[in-house]
Amino acid sequence: MQLESMYQEIILDHYKNPHGRGLRDPFDAEVHHVNPTCGDEVTLRVKLDGDTVADVSYEGMGCSISQASVSAMYDLVVGKPVTQALETGEHFMTLMQAKGDPAVAEKLEDELEDAVAFAGVSKYPARIKCALMSWMALKDASARALSTAPQTGGSN
């Protein structure tokens, strides 16, 4: 069975016990993203504190991969500067395009923490979108939050 390469124990743990799930107030931007090929959905809110991601809260329905991905993302980005969070998203995208190349996963392991477990997903083109949906939603919500939120915590 090759299934274990996709469904790493870490992924199943996030799926069964998601971190940070639920929509919370206050927030600066809310987005709703869908995967039109399968109907998976996520509603995601971002709260910024200056340039820092103060909170990401979400509700969604979808497969284990999409649900585990948003949970792992929550762990990675909350408390980080927005620019770093988005950079991590870019690196997660790189991992998803790696077609299962272990060298790519190894290089990104320290930065992506639990999310590096999704390396196996990159071997299944139909499932890559599932893993990426929440990261796309974060990128979208962050951009909106940055363009609309009043600048707080800055001196000017």
Write down the least CB distance from residue 126 to another protein, Å.
8
From candidates 14, 27, 40, 88, binder to another protein by CB under 8 A: 40
* Segment holding 72, helix H or strand E: helix 64-77
From candidates 19, 20, 43, 64, binder to another protein by CB under 8 A: 64
9 part of the interface to another protein, by CB under 8 A: no
120 part of the interface to another protein, by CB under 8 A: no
The type of residue at 130 is C
C-alpha span between 118 and 59 (Å, rounded): 20
65 part of the interface to another protein, by CB under 8 A: yes
Closest CA to 96 of 122, 62, 66, 72: 122
3 part of the interface to another protein, by CB under 8 A: yes
> What beta strand segments (E) does 1-156 contain?
29-35, 40-49, 52-61
From candidates 19, 20, 21, 38, binder to another protein by CB under 8 A: 38
59 part of the interface to another protein, by CB under 8 A: no
Q: Sign of torsion, CA 142 144 146 151?
A: negative
66 versus 142: smaller Cβ distance to another protein:
66
* N-to-C CA span, the chain: 58
Write down the least CB distance from residue 35 to another protein, Å.
9
Write down the least CB distance from residue 74 to another protein, Å.
19
